[in-house]
Chains A and B, each alone.
Chain A
Amino acid sequence: MSCPKTELISAYLDEEVGPGEKTRFETHLQGCSSCTHTLAELRSLRMAFSNAERHPAPYGFATRVIARTAGLEKKKATWFAPYFVGFAEAAVLLIVITVGILAGRVMTNGSPATTATNMASSLSLELFDATPPGSLGGAYLAMTEVRNEK
């Protein structure tokens, strides 16, 4: 076996080669100082990594993350809030109007036709005297009406 690529030596170090490849390389390794040297250098690099400082998350990290997610939840809630408030206001107004109409019907206790008649008569000027009762204007109008009838 000729010297393999560094890729295979690297994978051998990581125990990521198949059993056949592993056996062939180990046999080759026994008589190859170049590959032995390469492997030793890779092991040295691995040692440097294994000595490298491991960094646990700083104190209070999880609390800070959770606090920020609370902000996200708030954002989620406020995204549609203006639309929701507008809709709620419109709904309340509609309910008030409907209840008002129904209550009016119940209080007048009439059918729609009666209600319409009542409404028309309530708006009629005939309900009111044109002049104050017992006034000169009233007497004058009464005389004029009699004359007109004649």
Chain B
Amino acid sequence: MQNPDDLILIDRFKSGDASAFGEIVLKYQDKIYNLCRHMLGNAHDAEDASQDVFLKAFQALSKFQPEASLYTWLYRVATNTCIDRRRKPVFESLFGGSEEGERLVHDRASDAPSPERLYQSKQLDRTLQESLGKLSPKLRTVIVLKEIEELSYEEIADTLEISMGTVKSRIARAREELQILMKKFREQNP
């Protein structure tokens, strides 16, 4: 369903108000960047992909149909951009991205948990990210949209233009494969 605020922003953009696009970027930049970050696994690629998403949006927004939800549309552009971009055989881990990109991300962290908690959390996150990177693009996309972006099955189906049944089966398969991959990763990295 279309967000009324988004409709206003789109109308403003279409009528030539350049600031409306800036507001769209500010509104969705964290969601899109986070999605790309989990899809691609490192800060540098995530930044490039996220920028590409908004540039594609900028060029296509004038033809945007109000029947579609803006964030669903942006997620669709983002997942396609990440899948296209991620043709590399090796998935860069959470800590494998460019130093500059990582610094940009970690500079934003304001609250500091205890070192032990932080270590455990990082280890779990690393296990998850490494395993996520080994999933096929189709499975990775649905599980990231479900667990990271917290979309419903219907929203995922709309975003990826697939049936609800396909969403349901892909999510289940993604979970099964992730469990196996995470177990394997823990055994290899005790």
Contacts and interface: CB of A to CB of B under 8 A. Distances in A.
Nearest to A70: B18
Interface stretch (B3-11, B69-77, B104-112): B104-112
Interface string B85-129: 000000000100000010011011000000000000100110111
A16 B94 CA distance: 31
Contacts of A72: 55, 58-59
Given A51-B121, A51-B125, A65-B55, A58 B47 contact: yes
Contacts of A45: 175, 178-179, 182
B87 to A, nearest CB: 22
Nearest to B104: A58
B148 interface: yes
- Chain B contact-residue range equals 35 or more
A65 B125 contact: no
Nearest to A67: B51
B33 A64 contact: no
Interface stretch (A2-10, A83-91, A132-140): A2-10
Looking at A42, A59, A62, A68, the one whose CB has the most chain B CB atoms below 10 A away is A62
A56 B30 contact: yes
B178 A51 contact: no
A59 B55 contact: no
Contact of B172 (A5, A54, A55, A64): A5
A61 B148 contact: no
A60 to B, nearest CB: 9
Interface of A: 5-7, 9-11, 14, 16, 41-42, 45-46, 48-59, 61-62, 64-66, 68-69, 72
24 contacts: A6-B176, A9-B172, A14-B171, A41-B179, A45-B179, A48-B127, A51-B121, A51-B124, A52-B129, A54-B34, A55-B33, A55-B34, A57-B30, A57-B32, A58-B33, A58-B43, A58-B108, A61-B29, A62-B22, A62-B25, A64-B51, A65-B25, A65-B51, A66-B22
Given A49-B128, A56-B34, 4 more contacts: A45-B175, A54-B148, A61-B47, A65-B55
